[in-house]
């Protein structure tokens, strides 16, 4: 059974399982992250609502897309199965370091936090040098203390994993 497997094609599920094997990552972790990032749509064309310019299954930023040899318009025009090739390409540099659901999600949101404790602060409302970082992720500040920790972001992804494993969603 794959988390969210009933919401995607068998081709998509098979490819995610293959990517998980290639990366040494539980494919359910990948599905939970993609469910969160795509608003449970698993759409290659879904755009970031906060205006970051990100698109797709893991919300590829324009600079990230460029580093992967593409752009957000090309990514958005792909099928979700086609875009999985870029998801795998994105995760490859982190292979061997993604030991938990939290670290898989950190590879997407904030790679510097891979391997860090759950109380590691990702975004601080008082970071004068980077004020947009907190603003664009404010919904992740669960205790509304002005700091977003790895644990807070991870709780959202854990919720997506749990929901994805429910009988109506897993397949």
The CATH number covering residue 153 comes to 1.10.530
On whether residue 85 sits in a domain, the answer given is yes
Residue 170 in any domain: the answer is: no
63-77, 94-108, 122-136, range with the lowest pLDDT:
122-136
Contact residues for 135 (Cβ-Cβ < 8 A; gap 6+): 50
Q: Quote the pLDDT of residue 111.
A: 95
pLDDT band at 17 (very low <50, low <70, confident <90, very high): very high
Q: How many CB atoms sit inside 10 A of residue 128's CB?
A: 6
Let me know if residue 86 belongs to a domain. Answer: yes
Task: Indicate if the pLDDT at residue 51 is higher than 80.
Answer: no
Let me know if residue 171 belongs to a domain: no
In angstroms, the CA 134 to CA 144 distance is: 11
pLDDT for 120 beyond 80: yes
How many distinct structural domains can be found in the chain? 1
Q: Which domain holds residue 127?
A: 5-164
- Residue 48 is predicted with a pLDDT of 85
Element spanning 122, H or E:
strand 121-124
Evaluate if pTM is beyond 0.85.
yes
pLDDT at 131: 85
Report the candidate in 41, 37, 42, 158 with the shortest Cα–Cα distance to residue 103.
Answer: 158
**43 occurs within a structural domain:** yes
Whether 60 maps to a domain, the answer reads: yes
Pairwise CA distance, residues 93 & 97, whole Å:
9
Res. 67 pLDDT band, cuts 50 70 90? very high
The tens digit of pLDDT for each residue in 98-112 reads 999 999 999 999 999
């Amino acid at each position: 059974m794959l988390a969210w497997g009933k919401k995607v094609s068998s081709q998509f599920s098979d490819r995610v399982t293959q990517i998980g094997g290639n990366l040494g990552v539980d494919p359910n972790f990948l599905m939970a992250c993609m469910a969160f990032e795509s608003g449970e749509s698993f759409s290659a064309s879904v755009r970031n609502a906060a205006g970051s310019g990100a698109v797709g299954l893991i919300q590829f930023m324009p600079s990230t897309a460029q580093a992967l040899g593409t752009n957000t318009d090309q990514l958005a025009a792909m099928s979700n199965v086609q875009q999985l090739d870029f998801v795998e390409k994105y995760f490859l540099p982190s292979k061997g370091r993604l030991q938990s659901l939290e670290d898989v999600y950190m590879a997407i949101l904030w790679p510097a936090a891979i391997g860090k404790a759950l109380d590691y602060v990702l975004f601080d409302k008082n970071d004068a040098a980077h004020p947009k970082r907190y603003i664009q992720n404010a919904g992740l500040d669960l205790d509304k203390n002005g700091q977003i920790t790895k644990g807070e972001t991870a709780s959202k992804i854990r919720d997506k994993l749990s929901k994805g494993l429910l009988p109506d969603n897993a397949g």
